[in-house]
Amino acid sequence: MDRSLTLILLATLFAGCSASGRKDETAPVYGQVPGFSLTESGGRTVTLNELQGKVWVADFIFTSCAGTCPVMSGQMRKLQDSLPKEIRLVSFSVDPLRDTPALLAGYAKNLGADPQRWMFLTGDRAALYNLSIKGFKLALDDAQGSEAEPITHSSRFALIDRKGQIRGYYSGTDEDDLQRLSTDARKLL
């Protein structure tokens, strides 16, 4: 085969590979969010099906937290204000005994959470821990826990795509990570 023809074929093949490689510049898939049935701050039942077809950001917090939870909730509020309205936010309580729907509703109101975009969910403690550890793969070794904060949970946010797949993990307290989360979330739209 003629050398110039070979080069043209290789260039065409390389260009085709590069173009197809640009279609999905987002993070890899880390897993699938398992089904759940929890209660939101207004008292209604929410399942994973309600979030299908939507891009969303999740975190695990509790309202009486004196550590990173207030910072994380503040960062979620910033995301609410800066991300496109199509992106949802979901905060799961890891302290369902104290974090009743009514208490979560007051917490959400104090944060200025838009109930059309940001849900606060509670339910059975074992189900919530299972969801956090086995479902979202937010291991306790990257979590907080001390005498002041006996409830251990991760301080990371998870980005979920329209298919319910986990596409990234981000520090809930680091501004650079939150900027990366914002960029990645927009790519998923």
Domain ranges of the chain: 28-188
Planar angle of CA 173, 179, 38, nearest 5 degrees:
60
Per-position b or e across 32-60, b if 16+ CB within 10 A of its CB: ebeebebbbbeeeebebeebeebbbbbbb
C-alpha 66, offset from chain centre? 22
* Residue among 20, 178, 153, 70 at smallest CA distance from 168: 178
Q: Which residues of the chain register pLDDT less than 70? A: 1-27, 139-152
* Residue among 170, 164, 139, 178 at smallest CA distance from 56: 164
Whether the model pTM is above 0.75:
yes
| Architecture of the domain delimited by 28-188 | 3-Layer(aba) Sandwich (3.40)
User: Tens digits of per-residue pLDDT, 22-44?
Assistant: 344 556 999 999 999 999 999 99
Return d(Cα 132, Cα 127) in angstroms, integer.
9
- Report phi then psi at 129, rounded to 5: -65, -40
User: Tens digits of per-residue pLDDT, 60-92?
Assistant: 999 998 888 999 999 999 999 999 999 999 999
